[in-house]
Amino acid sequence: MTPPKLQSTRFELLLGQLVRSLVGNLRGNWRRRSLGLLALLVGLFAGSNLTAYYLQMIGQRPVVVLIWLLVIEAVVRLRSRLVEDDPSLAWIVADNLRIGLVYAVVLEAFKLGS
């Protein structure tokens, strides 16, 4: 006997969309998966190194964080306007770069204690 189907609520639809997006990154050919993972790691590397470099060069943390915030917000706005259901490989790479950059900046903030 199969369990009854869950009612189609907004929360259930959100959970289904979340599962599809997470599993969607694992699906596909090796090129799509490897480029996505490489973009995530390059974003993490660039975020941690460039943040530390610019903090030493400029010396003002709020300016660096504001610039990163503006760049990331621009990428998010562009993606939400241009991409519909299935993103292309370039948008997956851009998203993973963005996620890596954000993670690195948050990690730097925790390391600095602010």
Q: Sign of the CA dihedral 10, 76, 90, 82?
A: positive
Residue 13 lies inside a defined structural domain of this protein: no
Establish if 93 belongs to a structural domain: yes
Q: Say if 57 falls within a structural domain.
A: yes
- Domain assignment present for 67: yes
Structural domain tally of the chain? 1
How distant is the alpha carbon of residue 8 from its chain centre?
28
State yes or no: pLDDT of 50 exceeds 80: no
Between 31 and 83, name the one with better pLDDT: 31
In a domain, 87, yes or no: yes
Tell whether the model's pLDDT for residue 24 goes beyond 70: no
pTM for the structure as a whole:
0.67
Q: How far apart, in whole angstroms, are the C-alpha atoms of residue 87 and residue 96? A: 12
Q: What is the pLDDT of residues 5-17, one digit of tens each?
A: 767 888 888 888 8
Residue 108 lies in a domain: yes
Distances (CA, A) of 11 to 18, 19, 48, 65: 10, 12, 35, 34
- Distance, CA of 104 to CA of 12 (rounded, Å): 32
pLDDT tens for each residue of 91-108:
888 888 888 888 887 887
Q: Note down the domain range covering 40.
A: 29-112
Largest CA distance in the chain: 66
pLDDT at position 6 is: 65
